[in-house]
């Protein structure tokens, strides 16, 4: 495996008075999809937000290309090469898809148009909705736009928070093969996901969180759907 692109080292994150993540350690390498699996409240979103500088660390450190991210704000982390697609999409409803994508990249118009064309090849749906406003899109269409927005600046790693949540199967059938192609082309992906079937179908490695603690970190090929479901159910029974 290549050297780690993004590294969590004994990371702890506090959410209010509770500890959302406890001493979490994980590496994500170029060309790899790592799926963070866990029940609601397991700490998946807190880890992604911490990597983007949106939540403070209560302990430990996060490194990108062996560079400590402490003291680097969210826009500068994005400029370093970290892309982030939050849960809930968070698009501006009155903006067209085209305007949303143009606003996400600081470059010449020609470069932005070329990048939109590249993303249209990755997500064919995108080219059919460029002139539509976000409020008029289905949830699945909005998710494609949100991921494309995160990819406009060609990040080296993409952080995806629950991308399959509420999506129709037909959208997932386009979305996840495209995410797999991103990794095959050398990008890293850290995917927070509740769907074990989705995680196993696309990820190289599965990391299971329970109440903020890493309880499993194994290659996806070493895990069956039944075993993963059993692990999650047993963790849920311990709540």
The DSSP result for 88-142, as a single string, is T----TTSBHHHHHHHT--S-HHHHHHHHHHHHHHSGGGGGSTTSBGGGS-HHHH
Res 227 pLDDT > 80: yes
The verdict on residue 179 lying in a domain is yes
The verdict on residue 52 lying in a domain is yes
Q: If you average pLDDT over every residue of the chain, what do you get?
A: 90
pLDDT band at 237 (very low <50, low <70, confident <90, very high): very low
Question: 84, 147 in Cβ contact below 8 A?
Answer: no
The verdict on residue 193 lying in a domain is yes
- DSSP H or E run through 85: strand 82-85
Q: Count Cα neighbours of 2 within 13 Å in the Cβ-side half-sphere.
A: 15
Task: Write down the pLDDT at residue 236.
Answer: 57
Task: Write down the pLDDT at residue 121.
Answer: 94
The verdict on residue 133 lying in a domain is no
**73-130, pLDDT tens digit by residue?**
999 999 999 999 988 777 888 899 999 999 999 899 999 999 999 999 999 989 999 9
Question: Stretch 176-204: mean pLDDT, rounded?
Answer: 91
Q: What is the CATH number of the domain that holds 79?
A: 3.40.50.300
Question: 34, 191 in Cβ contact below 8 A?
Answer: yes
The verdict on residue 108 lying in a domain is no
Task: Write down the pLDDT at residue 105.
Answer: 92
Three-state SS at 23: strand
Q: Count structural domains, the chain.
A: 1
Distance CA 72, CA 78 (A): 10
Question: 186, 79 in Cβ contact below 8 A?
Answer: no
The verdict on residue 119 lying in a domain is no
List the domain range (segments joined by +) for residue 190: 6-92+157-237
The verdict on residue 199 lying in a domain is yes
pLDDT band at 238 (very low <50, low <70, confident <90, very high): very low
CA distances in angstroms from 194 to 108, 124, 229, listed in the order given: 38, 26, 11
Res 184 pLDDT > 70: yes
pLDDT above 70 coverage of the chain, percent: 97
Residue-by-residue DSSP string for 131-181: TSBGGGS-HHHHHHHHHHHHHTT--SEEEEESTTTT--HHHHHHHHHHHHH
pLDDT band at 231 (very low <50, low <70, confident <90, very high): confident
This prediction has a pTM of 0.91
The verdict on residue 65 lying in a domain is yes
Question: Stretch 10-38: mean pLDDT, rounded?
Answer: 94
Residues near 63 by beta carbon (within 8 Å), at least 6 away in sequence: 4, 6, 7, 9, 69
């Amino acid at each position: 495996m290549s050297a780690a692109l993004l590294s969590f080292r004994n990371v702890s994150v506090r959410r209010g008075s509770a500890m959302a993540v406890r001493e979490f350690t994980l590496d994500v390498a170029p060309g790899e999809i790592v799926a963070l699996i866990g029940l609601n409240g397991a700490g998946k979103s807190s880890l992604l937000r911490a990597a983007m500088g949106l939540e403070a660390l209560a302990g430990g450190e996060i490194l990108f290309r062996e560079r400590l991210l402490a003291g680097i704000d969210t826009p500068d982390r994005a400029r370093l090469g970290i892309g982030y697609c939050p849960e809930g999409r968070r698009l501006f409803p009155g903006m067209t898809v085209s305007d949303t994508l143009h606003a996400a990249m600081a470059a010449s118009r020609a470069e932005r148009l070329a990048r939109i064309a590249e993303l249209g090849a990755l997500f064919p749906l995108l080219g059919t909705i460029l002139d539509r406003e976000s409020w008029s899109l289905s949830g699945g269409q909005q998710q494609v736009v949100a991921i494309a927005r995160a990819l406009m600046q060609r990040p080296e790693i993409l952080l995806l928070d629950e991308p399959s949540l509420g999506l129709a199967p037909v959208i997932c059938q386009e979305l996840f093969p495209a995410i797999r192609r991103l990794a095959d082309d050398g990008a890293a992906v850290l995917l927070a996901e509740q769907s074990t079937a989705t995680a196993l179908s696309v990820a190289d490695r599965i990391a299971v969180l329970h109440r903020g603690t890493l309880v499993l970190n194994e290659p996806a090929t070493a895990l069956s759907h039944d075993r993963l479901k059993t692990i999650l159910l047993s963790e849920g029974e311990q709540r």
